[in-house]
Chain A
């Protein structure tokens, strides 16, 4: 028995086991997750090009979403789903015509209905992918409001999935800073004021709090980098 470990064939197979095991259980999941993330992001970016000024929106929002979810102690798997949802939130815009997305004037009721449809289309598209089925509801409900006045289903409070509540806040903040076809971008302070004002009516107050904490941390970090 002792001399079996000295046999070159056995040593080679032992090494092989370690290498193959490391590859299958450590390296591969890491690399593939990265590729997967990158793949979703690439597709999302392709759709963002349709909406002038939306480039990078999904990626920036996703960074906020992950941090807020961490702040709220969401488990990692769920956090990953939320991140993917943030990437793909507006993928439904592929079916919203160009001219509506980039319209400078107020939308007509009919046009607004089409814009609202992007949450449904996006959720439906994502649902077709077996591996993203759990991401679809987050996308579907990311325009719901805390008081039930949102779309598409008019869900209220905690009926709205946590991922959607987080995504709503992060997306709103990033959108407010952005210059849109119909209005110029806000500065950070006014956007924060706006979020605070919406806590409890539009947004989940807990999520807004967590988001503000995240912002504070970020600013501190930027501050230290500056000096």
Chain B
């Protein structure tokens, strides 16, 4: 409601200025910025370039024009982006909520900017030096993002029971940190080029931006294609047994959850799923008679089985972009007490990701569907007890702790 009032006021105030055709260009830019986020390959991070454009619009045309033009663009883009995901009522509800949050935060930021004595470039460059502009711009960006995060958190506190507001606030702030380091200089540069060269200035910066975005997206796509192909084929290659498919998927999911619980690095989180799927690829060349043998294995057969992590690592070492998971696959049968294979590593030498896969693999093998050499699978509780029993000898204590928390959470979710 408040947002609407500010928007209408801005529209009325800025009415006379909205004749400049360049505003149309800015309008389209905000629109595009919302529709075309820049995704960073290998991470979940995403940059939406709306704020820099809004900042430059503000610097070049003043508060009211910026609010009027960018809000319409942001709202329109939001309607288009989310049109399939929500019902019409919910869509309008959400969009108007987000739009008013946006209006309020940019409006407050802009007002503070002017009250604090910041110059607007449309009035010509003031006497203040360039770095001062940058400081002011940073203040503007900081206010914008913090306010937006605060509004978001407030909304969560009021309407969402399932999401604590602190989480929402933290999430918003964290995703925006790299963004707002870039936003201020980018917005300032943009405004400067615009005021100096008009539309050509805009083109000089928008073309590199679009090409850069294309490069990043292309990289993300190609990498996605590659990884999907390798994991799908690799997964099917291990299905010599109908049992394996479900097992690999479950191990991959569980390993991912445990890794998240352990707060491993993002680069590890992105790859641990692939490692979970591919961890037994070294078994591909091993004969079925040994893998499926019911009775006791001979020493020689054991030796062959014990080679599979090393063989798997050898295979994966030849795959580009998956090099980081080589030691994880090689180490997924190592034990902290040094009695594992193939390298008999000890506590501290085993990569934590390998320890995560070890726990997930062992748990699912025990609790999972029946397979030949263990006719009766354990119940989930029994399997959890077995994992607990292996703390410090077979399994890494940190990983087991995280694993137990994940299992407890899963159980809670099931009850609900």
Q: Which residues of A contact B (CB under 8 A)?
A: 1, 4, 7, 9-10, 13-14, 16-17, 20-21, 23-25, 28-29, 32, 35-36, 38-40, 42-43, 45-47, 49-50, 88, 91, 94-95, 97-99, 125-126, 128-132
Shortest C-beta distance, B40 to chain A (Å), equals 14
A10, A35, A49: the one contacting B204 at CB < 8 Å is A10
> What would be 15 A-B contacts, judged by CB atoms less than 8 Å apart?
A4-B201, A13-B204, A14-B204, A14-B208, A17-B207, A20-B208, A20-B214, A32-B225, A35-B226, A39-B226, A40-B229, A45-B315, A128-B232, A129-B232, A129-B233
Query: In chain A, what residue has the closest Cβ to B316?
Result: A42
In the complex, are the beta carbons of A24 and B315 less than 8 A apart?
no
Q: How far is the CA of A36 from the CA of B223 in the complex (A)?
A: 9
Asked whether B385 is an interface residue with its Cβ less than 8 Å from the other chain, the reply is: no
User: Which parts of B385-400 form the interface with A (CB within 8 Å)?
Assistant: none
B200 near A4: Cβ-Cβ < 8 Å: yes
Interface string of B312-327 (1 = CB under 8 A from A): 0001001111000000
Are A39 and B319 within 8 A (Cβ)?
yes
Q: Do A39 and B230 form a contact, CB below 8 Å, given A46-B281, A98-B288?
A: yes
Interface pair A94/B197, CB less than 8 Å apart? no
| Among candidates A1, A13, A28, A88, residue contacting B218 with C-beta atoms closer than 8 Å | A28
Q: B237 near A46 (CB under 8 angstroms)?
A: yes
Within the complex, which residue of A4, A35, A47 is in contact with B320, where a contact is CB–CB below 8 Å?
A35
| Contact partners of B196 in chain A: CB under 8 A | 4, 7
Q: Counting CB contacts under 8 A, is B236 at the interface?
A: yes
Partner of B321, one of A9, A13, A29, A35: A35
- Chain B residues near A39 (CB-CB < 8 A): 226, 229-230, 319-320
Contact between B233 and A97 (Cβ–Cβ < 8 Å)? no
**Residue B285 is within 8 A (CB to CB) of chain A in the complex:** yes
- Give B residues with C-beta under 8 Å from A: 189, 192-193, 196-197, 200-201, 204-205, 207-208, 211-212, 214-215, 218-219, 222-223, 225-226, 228-230, 232-234, 236-240, 281, 284-285, 287-289, 315, 318-321
* Cβ-defined contact, A24 with B321, below 8 A: no
Q: Name the residue in A88, A91, A129 with the highest tally of chain B Cβ atoms < 10 Å from its Cβ.
A: A129
Query: A28 to B237, Cβ gap below 8 A?
Result: no
Chain A residues whose C-beta falls within 8 Å of the C-beta of B207 in the assembled complex: 13, 17
Interface of B is mostly: helix
Cβ of B281 and Cβ of A16 under 8 Å apart?
no
* Residue in B closest to A23 when the chains form the complex, CB atoms: B215
Nearest Cβ on chain A to B190's Cβ, whole angstroms: 10
Give which listed residue, A10, A43, A97, contacts B237 with CB less than 8 A: A43
A98 near B289 (CB under 8 angstroms)? yes
**A171–B204 Cα gap in the complex (Å)?**
55
Closest 10 CB pairs of A and B: A24-B215, A98-B287, A49-B285, A32-B222, A35-B320, A13-B208, A125-B236, A17-B208, A42-B318, A20-B215
- Closest-by-CB residue of A relative to B204 is A10
B211: chain A residues at CB < 8 Å are 16-17, 20-21, 24
Is A9's CB under 8 angstroms from B193's CB? yes
Interface-centre pick from A13, A21, A28, A125 (highest chain B CB count, 10 A): A13
> Judging by beta carbons under 8 Å apart, are B315 and A42 in contact?
yes
> In the complex, A95→B207 CA distance in Å?
52
B284 touches A47 (CB 8 A): yes
Expressed in whole angstroms, the minimum distance between the Cβ of B139 and any Cβ of chain A is 22
Residues in A whose Cβ lies below 8 Å from that of B289:
97-99
- Are B237 and A47 in touch, CB under 8 angstroms? yes
Which of A9, A25, A43, A91 has most chain B Cβ within 10 Å? A43
Chain A residues, Cβ within 8 Å of B238: 94
CA–CA, A98 and B285, complex, Å: 9
Check A91 against B285 for contact (C-beta < 8 Å): no
A28 touches B219 (CB 8 A): yes
Q: Which residues of A contact B201 (CB under 8 A)?
A: 4, 10
Q: Which residues of A contact B215 (CB under 8 A)?
A: 20-21, 23-24, 28
Contact B229 A131 (CB under 8 A): yes
- Chain A residues with CB under 8 Å of B319's CB are 38-39, 42
